[in-house]
Structure 1
């Protein structure tokens, strides 16, 4: 893989800053400063090292073989560019996150549809102020008092009923 010089910053710092929580703003600013400093230092250096006029040095330096030795060492110098091992992992995480987001949107749309159906059902009921006990029992059979099938004692709260156990009630919630 050939070395590739970064010519422009591809980070949208403004969009990233919007997502940073207030408690981490100082760390974000320090990170951005460090990144900008690195970019300025990198851009200050040329992309390729300057060409050396070896003939000029050969004609000026009297020691035989010294310039040729330096030239050979200079030409053999190759600065390795680190291999990119992280990008495939990031792309895999991005695909996984995109899948999770799509699943979440799908599940949310189902929940929204269920809630809209429930709201539609509630709006179709007569107003509570105009309901009789029988209307309430027909609309909400699980919440209505049923003295025949499920008799309860006044004030009809779970705590006041026979056999009530606090631990069972909390475990059910």
Structure 2
């Protein structure tokens, strides 16, 4: 027999609907309809099989032993409730996902802290319209023009930077 009686759907349909993409909303509606139909059919039946009045049948059935045979078979009838084989897997998966979420949150918090530091350092700089080339070089040494170590001339293509080749004249 069932280990517990289903009283209502345990699915939070509103929360589920928030997570479903708009293209899948019709499929969710069909699934919810099927689930509700199944729940109604379960609730339409009693939790336990009806009790039979075996004394009434003993008096009214003329064949000797037939009622006893049916009563014995009826009482021996056990409808197996399906074994729960997936709850442990789901709980393990849920635990793993929660651990991944905690890890992601910690990593995100460290990234946020790093970005906050970068924002603070950028806010501490002079405004770009007030910077000189030397200020820019001091603030961003890897991006500043370095004529000693990385000379570059406009246009900044490799072909134009090769000063050993004669340039074609443009008319």
TM-score, structure 1 as length reference: 0.89
Q: Which residue does 1:106 correspond to in 2?
A: 106
User: What is the aligned length?
Assistant: 162
Q: 1:102 to 1:160 in 2, by over 3 A?
A: farther
The equivalences for 1:19-30 within 5 A come to 19-30=19-30
Match of 1:44 in 2: 44
Q: Return the offset for 1:6.
A: 1.4
Change (3 A) 1:158 1:30: farther
Show the counterpart of 1:134. 134
Alignment of structure 1 residues 158-169 onto 2, 5 Å: 160-162=160-162
Q: Which runs of 5+ in 1 are unaligned?
A: 163-173
Distance 1:75 1:61 in 2: 19
Query: Per-residue CA shift, 1:70-120, capped at 9, x if unaligned?
Result: 111101100001111101111101110010000000000000001010000
Separation in 2, partners of 1:103, 1:73? 57
3-state SS, counterpart of residue 141 of structure 2: coil
Q: 1:18: how far off? A: 1.0
Counterparts of 1:83-94 in structure 2, within 5 Å, are 83-94=83-94
For the residue of structure 2 that corresponds to 1:71, the secondary structure is helix
Structure 2, unaligned stretches of length 5 or more? 163-171
The residue aligned with 2:165 is none
Q: Secondary structure at the match of 1:116?
A: helix
Structure with bigger gyration radius: 2
Runs of 4 or more consecutive aligned structure 1 residues displaced over 6 Å after TM superposition = none
Determine which structure has greater relative contact order: mean sequence separation of CA pairs < 8 Å that are 6+ residues apart, divided by chain length.
Answer: 2
- 64-73 vs 46-55, greater mean Cα deviation: 64-73
How much is the aligned-residue C-alpha RMSD, in angstroms? 1.6
Q: Secondary structure at the match of 2:33?
A: helix
